[in-house]
Chain A
Amino acid sequence: MAFLKCRLHLLAFWLFIALLPQFSYAAGLELQEQEIKAGLLYNFIKYTDWPAEKMSGQAITVCIFGSDPFDGRLKPMDGRTVNQHEISLRAIHSIADSKDCHLIYVNGDEKNSWPKLQEFLAGKPVLTISDFDGFAQSGGMIEFGHKDNHINAELNKEALSGASLHVQDRLLKLVTIYSGGR
């Protein structure tokens, strides 16, 4: 009897192995957090309109403020062309370096430097993105967040218009609009 039971277990085990892969199901993508954020960053470059004078040069400069939170996953973006402009990736560590950037991604660890950076950037057409909680509320333009294993984004329209930036409808439909104002 014990022997029979063993055989049954073994049978169940192999059936399990044999059957499982048959149930393939087309589910959604599964990516690492940094991959998703890197992809979204690229899309924000693609669907944001900068004032013409800011786009007079060849390159779009994407700056990371603080250490690289993307684990190197942003690197392949360097040199890509978007809307006829070449992306140039830069790491910056001081506020003064930020003036040439089109987009600044603020590492969440630099939260304490954000107020000074924001003051410096006031009115300048620089798209600001970060993932620390309260970024959009404190005047940041786009804040990445988490919800149920997905990445979402909160967008501060007031901050965008104050910097003469415009995000196209395709993205606006997908993000939450921050409505608190400041």
Chain B
Amino acid sequence: MPYQKGISKKDTTALRYSAAFLFSALNLAVMPAAYAADDVDSFALSPEQLFNATVTSVSKTSQKLMDAPAAIYVLTNEEIMRSGATSIPEALRLVPGVQVARVNANSWAISIRGFNSTLDDKLLVLIDGRTVYDPLFSGVYWDIQDTVLEDIDRIEVIRGPGATLWGANAVNGVINIITKKAADTQGNLASTTYGNQDGNVEERYGGKLGDNGYYRVYGKYLERDNEELDTGGNARDAQEESRGGFRADWKGTGDAKDDFTFQGDAYNSGASQYRFQPLFSLPGPHTQLDLEELDAHGGNMLGRWNRTFSEDSKFTLQSYVDYTSRDQLVLRDKRATFDIDAQYEFPQMDRHKIIIGGGYRYSHDNLTGSQFVTFTDIGENTNILSSFIQDKITLDPQWFLTLGSKFEHNDYTGFVAEPNARLQWQIDDSQMAWSSASHAVRTPSRLEEDLHLIQAAGSAGGPPATLLTSLDTIANPGYNGEEVNAYELGYRKQWTPKVSTDIATFYNAYHGLSTYTLATPAIFVIGTDPTRFEEPFAPDGNAWAETYGVETTANWRVLNNLNLSASHSVLVIAMHDITANTLGAQAPEKQSPKYQANLHAAWDITKDVTYDAMFYYNSALTSYLVQSHTRLDMRLGWRVADGVELSLVGQDLLDPSTHEFVSPTDGHVLPVDISRAIYGKVTWRF
């Protein structure tokens, strides 16, 4: 698909689209009067009506979260299933203010409030309380994060620093993936998905565990088919993955109210992609194209104990071990992690509601480098000790002030504090305003502390013309990581039982950004390599940035069987104190779209037939040859018999293929176009 043409045209349409989406969001907000006063009196309904009524999926927990003074969105299981997404990253497209870009068949770039890349270092991602953030590059490998999607209870997404309760690196947000309790996944579920791009088969069985418990086990196999290179030709980026896992939940038998959970997963994945590598040959060429194999496997086990003392007081102890291994052309990374966390929620004491917690994480890695990646420590142990305290103070029945801080000690930067203050004004039952100020940090990654990467080779530039020149990124052990000061303001209103809106604005100031600046060039020797003239770039932490934006969400239940939800976000990024010698420093301004919008219509045509349509819009990423794009996904679901559902899904229906992203942190991977996808799915519950 030719991306050179029409970029400026599309840019002007960007504004129109944004205006259109905003308009429809406002439209939703001013419509309400006709639908007010529609509260159902369930005591006036007949038993027949009640037994036939469909249960809405808004869970108690998600409702509580909607009362939280933060920019939060809860993606429910129903939304995930109805989106037709075949993976967790694809499902996240529905969440307002989250940027999801598929880089190739096996790789995604996901971010919140800017700085998108395949290894976004400002996002904390948790699955059932386990951090899936890789400390080597400070990012998440989305290709290996998966489970049976039907078994996901909800995905809570918090935009902005969630630092107080969630731990370091939640600089721009937290994605918290929560699976269902085993009691809610009883019986067999078998499904198979087949289409032109992604396909999978999965089976889950849930049963009882004695008198007080439940368990489930699952297995899943998936394939992602090759996409096409942006320049044409097979991208050879297919992936196949098998995984399995279990979860058991049981209640204690004593007088105390104890709940226990034990769960685990294991996976094995194989994929590939084309990568440009530097070539050390003096006359040139200086790059070669290699097909890189990506082999990953790993597993985890987690145990949790929850004791409930009263309705508003409980203690939780959780511990897990996690092993990951990732083998790539340039680097092999094996890592074992042990983590233990405890949390205690005090009962309400007069005006104070206090939660305290603490945790310890130990991580050991084992790296194998290559001609292009070297480091001092082959294996490194890292220890992180953390604790937090939070107090929600009731100032008066309508005003609440939440003060909290996380304290952390890590091996790289020592002691850090991450304070947070939130003010909540519960105007009445249907509207709430909030504001917050927080300070959060991203600890330096192993990449910034220890790794030496040869990015490119050349023959010009070095003073002795007979020497090869290389452009390297090197470590800076003195680098202290990044800090952000974030300010937010939000307003949420339930206009009628059917119409609600949520708006959040933010201003973030980042300091000590990990931008790479040219250090002193020197003649360099490594092993048997020819001596070369090295131009080293090191993270210096001098650059800083400002971001600000507005995120709007509206939901309108038009009819009992038709729901519309829309969201729109604006994001502006300004980088400061960048010198001519800074490597790719302006990238953040160009790697996240300024405007994003989506619209989701969910229509229950009959009791057994559902139809969903999702529009997604993002404005262009100029420096990465990514056009503005409108994407349409549709899903038709049909329950043909008790427990049997067929669905037909089309993704990106308006274009044969779309180039979504090139990661600035891994620009050596060839740009790929993502094809329009059509698939069918059969789900059988028995």
Contact = CB atoms under 8 A, between A and B. Distances in A.
Interface of A: 1-3, 6, 9-10, 12-14, 16-17, 20-21, 23-25, 27-33, 35-36, 38-40, 42-43, 47, 67, 71, 73, 76-77, 80, 109, 111-112, 133-134, 146, 148-153, 170-171, 174
Nearest to A77: B43
B256 to A, nearest CB: 9
Given A146-B55, A174-B48, 7 more contacts: A10-B20, A20-B562, A28-B560, A39-B45, A76-B43, A148-B642, A150-B54
A15 B562 CA distance: 16
Nearest to A40: B50
Contacts of A170: 47
A30 B56 contact: yes
B24 interface: yes
B55 A9 contact: no
B60 A71 contact: yes
A20 B603 contact: yes
A2 B10 contact: yes
Nearest to B310: A67
Contacts of A39: 42-43, 45, 50
Contacts of A174: 47-48, 51
B20 A13 contact: yes
A30 B43 contact: no
Given A6-B10, A10-B17, A39-B43, A29 B562 contact: no
B559 A67 contact: no
Interface of B: 5-6, 9-10, 13, 16-17, 20, 24, 40-43, 45-56, 58, 60, 183, 208, 211-212, 251, 253, 255, 257, 308, 311, 558-562, 564, 599, 601, 603-607, 613, 615, 630, 632, 639, 642-643, 654
Contacts of A31: 40, 42, 50, 53-56
A10 B54 contact: no
Nearest to B214: A133
A29 B615 contact: no
Contact of B9 (A3, A10, A27, A42): A3
B307 to A, nearest CB: 13
A1 B6 CA distance: 9
A54 B479 CA distance: 78
A152 B24 CA distance: 39
A25 B611 CA distance: 13
A16 B613 contact: yes
A2 B6 contact: yes
B9 A2 contact: yes
**Max chain B CB contacts within 10 Å: which of A6, A38, A47, A146?**
A6
A52 B41 CA distance: 30
B644 to A, nearest CB: 11
A112 B630 contact: no
A151 B20 CA distance: 41
Contacts of A150: 51-55
Which of B47, B54, B251 has the most chain A CB atoms closer than 10 A to its own CB? B47
Contacts of A76: 41, 43
Contacts of A148: 639, 642-643
A21 B654 contact: no
A35 B40 contact: yes
Contacts, number: 145
Contacts of B605: 23, 25
B43 A80 contact: yes
Contacts of B46: 43
B55 A151 contact: yes
Contact of A29 (B53, B601, B639, B642): B53
B311 A28 contact: no
Given A29-B52, A133-B183, A38 B562 contact: no
Contact of B49 (A20, A29, A77): A29
B604 A27 contact: yes
B615 A151 contact: no
A111 B51 CA distance: 24
Given A23-B603, A67-B311, A80-B43, A28 B50 contact: no
A71 to B, nearest CB: 6
A42 B253 contact: no
B559 A24 contact: yes
A40 B43 contact: no
Give the 7 A-B residue pairs with the shortest CB-CB distance, closest first.
Answer: A2-B6, A39-B42, A27-B561, A29-B53, A35-B42, A43-B47, A42-B43
7 contacts: A12-B632, A29-B49, A43-B47, A134-B211, A151-B51, A153-B51, A170-B47
B619 to A, nearest CB: 13
Contacts of B60: 71
Contacts of B45: 29, 39
B163 to A, nearest CB: 31
Nearest to B561: A27
A38 to B, nearest CB: 5
Given A16-B601, A21-B562, A24-B559, A36 B5 contact: no
A3 B49 CA distance: 51
Contacts of A40: 47, 50-51
B51 A152 contact: yes
Contact of B255 (A47, A112, A146, A171): A112
A13 B597 CA distance: 13
A27 B607 contact: yes
Contacts of B606: 25, 27
Given A16-B613, A28-B54, A6 B42 contact: no
A30 B51 contact: no
B252 to A, nearest CB: 8
A152 B48 CA distance: 11
Nearest to B39: A35
Contacts of B211: 134
A28 B212 CA distance: 35
B251 A111 contact: yes
A54 B208 CA distance: 38
Contact of A21 (B53, B255, B558): B558
B630 to A, nearest CB: 5
Nearest to B639: A148
**Chain A CB within 10 Å, residue with most, of B9, B54, B212, B599:** B54
A112 B253 contact: yes
A137 to B, nearest CB: 10
